[in-house]
Amino acid sequence: MLLSSIPASQEQRDSMPSLAILDDDHILRLMRYAIEGDGAVSEQWAQGFFLPEDADLARVRALGDGLHPSDGVTLLPLGADVRTSGDLDVLIFRRGTIDAALMDAHPKLKLIQRIGARADAIDLAAAKARNIAVSCVPRPSLQLTAEHAILLMLALGKRLLTGDALTRAGAYDASRVHPDHGVAYNWTRQAPLAGLYGKTVGIVGLGEVGVMAARMAQGFSARVVYCNRTRLSPEKERALGVEYRALDALLAESDFVSLHASNLPDNKGMIDAKFFAQMKRTAYFVNTSRGRMVDQQALADALTRGTIAGAGIDVFFEEPLKLPSPLTALPNIILTPHIAGGSRTGIIDEVGAVLANCRAVLTGGELKHRVA
C-alpha cells in the first residue's frame, strides 16, 4: 500500500512519515537497501553481502514496500545527526542509547524499534510517558549462534568427531571388548568423556548471545560464571543465575570458556598465550564471536602443548581460513566455516520483521514484539 502516491506540497512533505536508522552494520545496511533500493547502499554491495549464497534481491526490496521514497516516506541519510534532523516518526537502532532527550527532539515519534530482544538501552519509562511504542525484535541468528557455542562444547566434551571417525573405521581392540547381549559401551575406549552437567561454563562478554548461551548451558545443569566490561547489577545476576568473576578467576575455574565479547579494536588479539595459560589443562575454549580477537598461533601452541584440552572454533582471524594452517592438523580442535548464525539469507527475515513493524505503526497495524 502506498502511503502517498500524489505529488505533495512542501507543507505536505514536511508532514510525511520519516524514519531514521541510527547506527550502521551489515543488517542495518541491508535494511537501507530494502527501503531505498540502489540508493545509499548499492545493489552490488547487497548482492555481495549474501555471497557465496544466492539471494533474491527483489524479495529484499519488497520488504520495504510502503516505506520506499516513492511511497512518500523519508529515510534519514546515513551519518546525519538524528538530534537535529527534524521530527521523525520511527527510530531504528541496534546499538546505542535512546534517552528522554532524544525522544523530546522528535515530538511526533511513534515507534522506537530495536533490532534485538534486549531493551536495556531504551528509557522505557520516558517512552511510556510520551506514548511512544517500543519494540525489540528478537534475532534468530543470535539464537543460532548461542546454540552453536553449546554444540561445540558438547561435541568437544563427548569427543564427537573422534567417536564418529573411529566408529566408521571399526577401530577398537577386540581383546578388550566383550559385548553383553549385543551391548558394548564405549568400545572405541575414548576418555575422558563429559557433557555440561555439573561443569562450569565461563562466558567472556555477557551480551545478547552470551546471555542466550548462559541460559542454554544452565539447561544442561551447568554453572555459569561471566566477565564483562561492565558488571551487571546484583538483581540482574540473580535473575540470570550467573556469577561475576574477574577474567583470571573465570579462566582458572571454568571447564568451558566461551567467547562472546564485542569485536572492538581494543579487543584485537585479546585471547593470547597468557589467556590460555590461565585456563585449566582440562578445559575447552570456544569462539563463535569474531576471529580477530584470538591470536591463532597462541591457540595452536596451547592445543599442541596440552595447555588446554581442546577448542571449538567457528570464526578466524582471516576468512576463509588460509591453508596450510597449524590448526587443521590438530586432533583436539573442531573447525566450522563461520556458520554459527545460520545461513546468510536468514537475515532477510530479521529485516522483514523490523520493517513490518515500521509499516504497522504508520498505517495503524499491529506491532509485534512490543515491550512498551
Domain check: are 92 and 199 in the same one? no
What integer pLDDT is reported at residue 48 of this predicted model? 96
Domain check: are 131 and 146 in the same one? no
Give whole-number Cα distances, 176 to 13, 78, 103, 182, 191, in Å.
83, 68, 72, 15, 15
Is 179 a domain residue? no
Q: How far is CA 162 from its chain centroid? A: 29
Determine which one of 290, 292, 344, 359 is catalytic. 290
Domain check: are 353 and 334 in the same one? no
Domain check: are 267 and 333 in the same one? yes
What integer pLDDT is reported at residue 3 of this predicted model? 44
User: For the whole prediction, is pTM greater than 0.75?
Assistant: yes
Strands 200-204 and 256-259: parallel
What integer pLDDT is reported at residue 352 of this predicted model? 97
Active site residue 68: no
Calpha distance 220→338 (Å, rounded)? 25
pLDDT, one tens digit per residue, over 96-121 is 999 999 999 999 999 999 999 999 99
Radius of gyration, alpha carbons of the chain: 25
What integer pLDDT is reported at residue 8 of this predicted model? 46
Distant-in-sequence, close-in-space partners of 368: CB < 8 Å, separation ≥ 6: 135, 137, 353, 356, 357, 360
Q: Which residues of the chain fall below pLDDT 50?
A: 1-13
The one-letter amino acid at 349? D
Under a CB-based contact definition with an 8 Å cutoff, are residues 30 and 60 in contact?
A: yes
Active site residue 292: no
Question: What are the residue ranges of helices labelled H in the chain?
Answer: 10-14, 26-36, 43-50, 57-62, 100-104, 124-129, 140-157, 160-169, 208-219, 234-240, 247-253, 273-277, 296-305, 347-363
Taking phi over 0 as left and psi of -120 to 50 as alpha, with beta for the rest, 86 belongs to left
SS3 112: strand
Q: What angle do CA 315, 321, 323 make, to 5 degrees?
A: 155
DSSP state at residue 313: E
Active site residue 319: yes
How many structural domains comprise the chain? 2
Calpha distance 347→220 (Å, rounded)? 28
Only one residue has cell 554444540, namely 151
What integer pLDDT is reported at residue 302 of this predicted model? 98
For position 75, which CATH number holds? 3.40.50.720
Nearest-10 crossing angle of helices 140-157, 347-363: 150
Domain check: are 194 and 249 in the same one? yes
What integer pLDDT is reported at residue 349 of this predicted model? 96
The range of the structural domain enclosing residue 233 comes to 142-171+187-341
Give whole-number Cα distances, 232 to 127, 185, 227, 248, in Å.
23, 44, 9, 18
Is 176 a domain residue? no
What integer pLDDT is reported at residue 14 of this predicted model? 55
